[in-house]
Every structure is written in structure tokens, then in C-alpha cells.
Structure 1
Amino acid sequence: MKKITLFFALVFLAFAQGACSVKEPPILVKLAPIPYEGKICRVAVLPFDNQTNYPGAGIFFSRIFANALIVAGTNLVAHEGDTRKVLQQMQVIPGQMPTIEQIRALADRLGVQIVVYGTIMELREKDDRGKSLDPSMAVIIRILEADSGRTIWSTYHRREGGQYRSVMHLGMVSSVTELSKRISDEILDTWYTEGLIRCEE
């Protein structure tokens, strides 16, 4: 599974050369169409994999992303406790990528149409001496089809807090929490633009 993550990271980095402006959208790779003609109402968000030294980054960001899904798309997101219970019964460690068979079984038990899983590639807000830095974050988020368990969309996005700075520092993002919310909203905006349909539509 780490080889798959590395593959996507290399693909996204190739696309992202020179893409440092806040105007640049998330990089989306479509491997297959979204099922149900894009209209998704039931989603499960798994605890994300954490490839950084920031403790708890995977769980922290996955909760923010799940909330963003609810707010932005009126999607019914499976309760975190129910998702964790199923993963525990399958002996899947939080943050670990389930197998295709486990994804299919989890989706069936939770009654969801897609599963969202991600990897935190970068997350910084302090240097090695504890001094505050301009926060930065990079993530890869995948949409997994419930019926097949395969990845159908994969999205890479990286931001720094300073990219939101405007005149007189208005709009500046100075915390990883706020940066996580901005990144989540921008990824979802891209998904909805590219064919994911809000459940209410």
C-alpha cells in the first residue's frame, strides 16, 4: 500500500511543478467515474494515514474533512464510532489502509456508497526548537468505490498559511486547524466542480 501512496505522490508532484500560487486548485486524478452518476449521499471517512512527525495528524484531519463533507454537501457521513467499531472488528489499525475486501465489507455494513481515505504527507507549524512557523500541509485523499473497493478518484493538495495573506495580513491563516479547514473546503469544491453531486440536488 505504501508503494501505491508513493506512486500517487510522484504523479501529483509531477503535475505540481511550479504550482505555488493560492490560485492553483487541488490536483485531481480520475481513475474511474463516480458511481450513481455522481450523486453520493452516504459516505464513510476512515482515519487517515499519518506520514508526518505531527502526533495524531491522521485522525485530526480526517475529523475536519468529515465535518466539511457534512457542511458542504449535506452528505450523510457514517458516525466515527460506528466506523471505528467495524475497523476494530476487522482488526484494522486506525490509519491503516484496509484491503479491497475489507473496504467492500465495511461499506456494506455501514451502508455507504463511497469510502474516503487519505494520507497526511506534510504537516508543520513549529520547527525543531518549538518556534512557530507559517503552517504548511500536504495531503492525498482518495475516494474508494464501495462495490469494488478500488480507488476511483485521488486528490493531492498542498497549502501554506501565508498563501492566504492579503493586504494588512487580512485572511492570513496561522493555525493548522484553520489550514486544515481551508484545504478540506478547497478539495470538496474541486470534487463538486468535477462531478460529485450534493445529495440535496
Structure 2
Amino acid sequence: MKHRFLCKPRFLFSLVSLFLVACVGCYSLSGPNSYQRTGIDKSKIKKVAVFSFHNNTQAREASRIVTEAFLAELFKKKTFKVEFPGNVRAFLVNERIVVRTGIDLQTMKLMAKRLGVDAVIIGEVDEYVGVDDTERHVTPLVSIRSRMVDSRSGKILWLAHHRRTGDHYRKVLDFGKVRSVAALTGKVVGEMIQSMP
């Protein structure tokens, strides 16, 4: 009986130690670095247009994946009406406009008039690692910058920067770790959109 009694604290200590070791390296999640203009009249921002995100990485599909993720999350959130991407592309082609990292006020005003959008969303993909599924040992990494600009005044209404790896969502014993860069993109974009006005 005495032997069994002594083993219990030892077993509990071992169990607690294992738990603490498993938690080492776990990340505390915080939202994106973001800014919202004070005094925004949200009732005037009903419809937005999303431009293709500029790709600053070597991953060729990064722009398309991130842009589509933004569109999907905005449709899901239903805070704004989202202009159909085909109409945005047609407008840019017809006006011979190339959008990389920004857009001038005259173009935004013209878009507001033609498409009836109240704001435009522009962004850049700064880091995008893990798109090659054959490299399973690679931890996915996504870093995105974005901003929402009033199409009438050119004022920045919202901007955010978010950087995450798959390990940021890890809990105990690797549970929660995001292993797919596409899934990580969805999480990063979703958290960014949650910080919007």
C-alpha cells in the first residue's frame, strides 16, 4: 500500500511535466495589427470592390489564392455587398488601368461612378511559404497587408497587417497546427476581416 501511495505523486508530477513540455512553444494568439479611421459612417460603406492582391513572393499562385480568400470571407461576413470580380476586371481593362500596390483617387472616383462602389480593398502578399505540397516538412507561412480606401475621398478607412505560421495555432501535442498553406490563408484572412469596420 505504501509503495502505491508513493507512486501516485510521482505519476502526477510526470504527467504535469509532460503537459508543460508539450506546451512549450505554443503561441498566444493575438489579432492582426490594424487601424480603423475614427468617426467612420458605416452606413455609407455599402458596397466594396476587391482588387487582386499584389504578389511580392516567389509563389505564383499567392495573389489568386489570397484574393479569392478575401472575396470568400467578405461574402461570408455579409457586412458589405461585394462587386463581382469580373466587373472589376472589365473596368480595369476598359480603362487600361494596371493596379499593383495602389490606385489613384481619380480612378477610384470613376469606379465609384461606374460600379457604384463606396470603397476599394487593395493588398499585398509579402510572404507565402508552403504552397508546394511535396515539401511536407515545411511549416506554412503567410504574411498579408491590406487596406480599405474610401472611393470618394481617397481616405484610408482601415488597414491591417497579419503574419502567421501554421505553428501559431498549435495547442498541446501538435493539435491545432495548420499544415496547409491554403487553410492558413483562410485563417489569416478571416482574422483580418474581423478587424474591419
Q: TM-score, normalization: structure 2?
A: 0.77
Cα distance change of structure 1 residues 41 and 22 upon mapping to structure 2, 3 Å threshold? farther
**CA RMSD of the aligned region, Å?**
2.3
1:167-178 paired onto structure 2 within 5 Å? 167-178=172-183
2:58 aligns to what SS in structure 1? Answer: coil
What percentage of aligned pairs have identical amino acids? 26
What amino acid is aligned across from residue 167 of structure 2 in structure 1? Answer: G
Per-residue CA deviations over 1:78-106 (Å, capped at 9, x if unaligned) read 00100100111121235453222112211
Aligned to 2:135: 131
Distance 1:35 1:88 in 2: 31
Q: TM-score, normalization: structure 1?
A: 0.75
Q: Aligned pair count?
A: 170
Cα distance change of structure 1 residues 59 and 22 upon mapping to structure 2, 3 Å threshold? farther
1:21-170 paired onto structure 2 within 5 Å? 21-30=27-36, 32-33=37-38, 35-37=40-42, 40-93=45-98, 95=100, 97-125=102-130, 131-132=135-136, 133-170=138-175
Point out the structure with max Rg over C-alpha: 2
Structure 1's consecutive aligned runs of 4 or more residues displaced over 6 angstroms after TM superposition are: none
Aligned to 2:10: none
What amino acid is aligned across from residue 56 of structure 2 in structure 1? Answer: Q
Distance 1:45 1:136 in 2: 23
Q: 8 Å contact 1:165–1:172 — kept in the other structure?
A: yes
Q: 8 Å contact 1:41–1:113 — kept in the other structure?
A: yes
Distance 1:160 1:39 in 2: 36
Q: Which runs of 5+ in 1 are unaligned?
A: 1-19, 197-201
Aligned to 1:186: 191
Q: 8 Å contact 2:140–2:165 — kept in the other structure?
A: yes
Aligned to 1:11: none
Distance 1:105 1:98 in 2: 11
What amino acid is aligned across from residue 87 of structure 2 in structure 1? Answer: D
Cα distance change of structure 1 residues 48 and 157 upon mapping to structure 2, 3 Å threshold? same
